[in-house]
Chain A
Amino acid sequence: MKKQLPLISGIAAITVSFFVFVIPFLFIIFMAFKDRRQAASRDFSWPEGFHLWENLVEVVTTRNWMMITAFVNSSILTVVSVTLLVVLAAMVGFVLARRDAKWNGPIEFLILAGLMIPPAVVPTIWLLQGLKLFGTLHGMILIEVAYNLPFSIILYRAFIATIPRELDEAAIIDGARPLDVFFRVILPLLWPVTVTNIVVQSVGIFNDFTNPLYYLPGANNATVQLTLYNFQSQFNTAYNLLFTNILLITIPPLLVFLFFNRQIVAGMTAGAVKG
C-alpha cells in the first residue's frame, strides 16, 4: 500500500494537471485547426478537417503581411536589447562586485527602485518625443534596456562575487590592463549566467505587450503581441484565425522552453534561497 501511494497520487495529479493546464493549450491548437464555421461555436471539440495551413496563410498575409513585419520588429527588438543588456549589465555587475566605493549603496538603492517602481508613462513619452525617439524601434530598444537593466545587473553581480579576486590579481601581475581583466579574464567565465540572462530577458521582451503599446504605436511598428491585439478587433468572430495567431506567437517561447528550461528556472529562482 505504501509503495502504491506515489503511484496513486501521481495519477491523480496527472489527471488534474491535464484538465487545468493542458486542456487550455489543446483548445488553442484545436481552434487553430478548425474552419471559421466550426470555430465560431468555441466548444472543445475535435476539428473537422485540417484547416491549419489555410488559417496560417490568412493570418500571415492579412493587413499587408503585418505578421511578418511584426516578427521582424520583435526579433530585432529582442536581439538588440538583449545584446546591449548583457554587455552593459555585466560591466556594471563587475564593477559593483569588485569595487568597494561609497556610491555602491546609492547604486544598489537605484537598482532595487528599478525593480519596484512602475515607469512613469506619459513623462517618458514626452521625453522620447523630445529626443525624436518616440515611435521608433531605436527608442523602444533603449526603453527595454533601461527597464530590464536592474534584473540583469543583480544576476551578474551575484555571479561575479563568486569568482575569486585572486584571478584578477594574477592577471594583473601577468601584465593585464584593467580592460583585459574584464574582457579576457572575467567575461569568458560569465557564460552560464549570460545564457540565463539571454533566455530570461528574451522571453520577457518578446512577450512584452504594455511597453510597445505605449511607446511604439502604428501598424508599421507592430510587435507580435500587438498583432494579437489588432487581430482581435478585426476578426471579431473569426476565432480560428485569432487562435492560429495565438499558436504562432506561442512557438518561440515553446522552443526556448524545450531547449533552455534549466537556465530559465535558474534565472527566475536566483536569490530565492538566499533571499
Chain B
Amino acid sequence: MSVTTADSAGALQTTVRKKPIQARYPGWFILPAAVIYSVLFLAPTVSSLYFSLTRWTLFDSVFIGFENFAQFFREPFLVQGLINTVIYAVVTSGMKVVIGMAFAVLLTSNIVARGYLRSVVFFPVLVSTVGVGITFTVLMHPTQGMINETLALFGIKGPGWLTNPSLALYSVALVDVWKGVGLATVIYIAGLVAIPRDYYEAARIDGATPWQNFWYVTLPLSRPATATVIILSFIGGLRTFDLIWAMTKGGPGFASDTVASVIYKQYQAGFYGLSTAGNVVLFVLIAVLVIPLTMILNRRRGHE
C-alpha cells in the first residue's frame, strides 16, 4: 500500500519535472483572440498604409504615390481639421486634468453629500455621447437655448455657441469635458486615497497651509493619476468623432472639423483613398504626440 503511493507520487513528480513549466499554460489559448484581432484590426491597419497611396473605389485601386497626403496638407479645410484636432485634444485633456483634480480634492475632503456629488459627476460618463450631444445642441441654441435664456435674465447676451465659427469647436470641447470629467475625477480619487496619510501628518507638524499641502504633497504624489488622465483624454480627444458629429457635423462650414470627421466625410463622398490617408495621418499624429508624452510623464515619475 505504502509502496504504491510512493511509486505513483514519484511517477507523477517525474512527469511534472519532465514537462517544462511553460507547457502547463497552453500557448494556443491566445489563438482565437489573436486571429480576430489580426484579421479585423491589424490587417486593415497595415493595408491602410498601402491604400492611402492610391485612388481607390473598393473594387480597384490606382497607385498615385503621396498625392492624397499632399492634398491633405494643401486643402485649407483639411489642414484646419488637423489643427482643430490638436486644439480639441489639448483643451479637453487640460480642462479634465484641472477640473478633475479639483473635484477629486473636494470629494475626498469631509464635505457633506459626498456620495451624491460623486454619482452626479460620474453619471454622464455612462450616458450615450450622441444623446448628450443632441441635448446640448438644444441647450446651446443662440436664441431659444436654455443657456442663453438664463444669461439673458442677468442681462448678458450669450454668444452663438455652435453657430459662431470661432467658438463652435470650443463649445463642443466644453460638452466633452462635461461628459468626461467624471472619469478623470474617479481616477484622481483613486490616486488621492492611495497617498499615505503620513505625508499629510508630517506636513501638519511642519505647519503647512492647505495650499502648501496641495502643492507639495497632493500634486506630486498623484502624478501617476495625472499621467493616466492626460494620456487617456488626450488619445480620446484626438480620436473624437461622435460628439462633433452629433453637435456640429464639423460646421459651421469646416470650423469644427477634426481629422475623424474628415475621414467620415471623405468616406461618405466616396474618396476612399483620401479617407484612408486621413486615417494614416491620425495614426501618425497620435503616435508622434502620445509616445513622447507618455515617455515624459513616466520619466518624471521615475525621478521621485
Contact = CB atoms under 8 A, between A and B. Distances in A.
Interface of A: 6-7, 9-11, 13-14, 17, 20-24, 27-28, 41-44, 88-89, 91-92, 94-96, 98-101, 107, 110, 114-129, 142-143, 145-147, 149, 153, 168, 172-173, 175, 178-179, 181-182, 203, 207, 209-210, 213-214, 224-225, 228-229, 232, 239, 242-243, 246, 249-250, 253-254, 256-257, 261, 264-265, 268-269, 271-275
A249 B128 contact: yes
B120 A17 contact: yes
A246 to B, nearest CB: 4
Given A99-B27, A265-B186, A271 B279 contact: no
Given A41-B144, A168-B24, A232 B121 contact: no
Given A225-B130, A272-B225, A120 B138 contact: no
Nearest to A243: B135
Contacts of B51: 122-123, 126
A116 B287 contact: yes
Contacts, number: 255
Contacts of B145: 42
A128 B43 CA distance: 11
B131 A246 contact: yes
A24 B139 contact: yes
B239 interface: yes
Interface string B27-49: 10110111011011111110110
Interface in B189-230: 189-191, 194, 224-225, 227-229
Query: Main SS of the interface on chain B?
Result: helix
A229 B130 contact: yes
Contact of B109 (A6, A41, A95, A232): A6
Contacts of B72: none
Contact of A119 (B45, B191, B224, B272): B45
19 contacts: A13-B117, A21-B123, A23-B146, A88-B32, A88-B36, A89-B33, A91-B30, A98-B25, A116-B290, A121-B263, A122-B276, A123-B43, A145-B36, A149-B33, A203-B126, A209-B130, A254-B126, A268-B183, A271-B228
A119 B275 contact: no
Given A91-B32, A178-B25, A257 B44 contact: no
A120 B48 contact: yes
A4 to B, nearest CB: 11
Nearest to B9: A173
